[in-house]
Chains A and B, each alone.
Chain A
């Protein structure tokens, strides 16, 4: 079945690294995405990874994909107060068309001084 799971909350000290985890159930996932949502706003695409990759880095963001365990993580280096938001993991199953993607429930990241 289609399911994407994330822990609900994460609290990190400013300047530390944040690691947000996600697990998915469908091994036929093709693309996996990370989105950021600030209060009252839409979702902002942060990054995505194709299922034949195991790592992608983009400035402070590192995505790790373990296909065997169906586990995806997003690491934010040097976490800042502006990183406070809800982070959504999502997966695409159908590789051939712009059909639906499945979202997790989101992880709320809070930063403490």
Chain B
């Protein structure tokens, strides 16, 4: 079964702690993305990676970090520098070479920081 998995589905942390969200895909896609979704809003791009060992900042990268050591994995760390970390985080991947580069999404992780 091909797809994108994100774990855990719900995550709770205390303010001041770093937390890492997992994203794995077995679709053999080159590109991967992290988005943040706040209630009643669209998606905002945090980071994206078009190839292993390379990634670019999106529109709201401050307070976040990523790594792309393997094609299948693109973990996101929410650092203590992120002022409002409570949100729904979505990971996506897309194939290259198709032209359409449609993105396929994981089920999301809801992070609550208190």
Contact = CB atoms under 8 A, between A and B. Distances in A.
Contact of B108 (A31, A42, A88, A98): A42
Interface stretch (A13-21, A76-84, A101-109): A101-109
A99 B48 contact: yes
Nearest to A94: B101
B87 to A, nearest CB: 13
A10 to B, nearest CB: 15
30 contacts: A31-B99, A31-B100, A31-B102, A33-B102, A40-B108, A40-B110, A41-B108, A42-B6, A42-B90, A42-B106, A42-B107, A42-B108, A43-B43, A43-B90, A45-B104, A45-B105, A48-B102, A50-B100, A92-B101, A98-B50, A98-B94, A98-B96, A99-B56, A100-B33, A100-B45, A100-B58, A103-B42, A103-B43, A105-B40, A106-B42
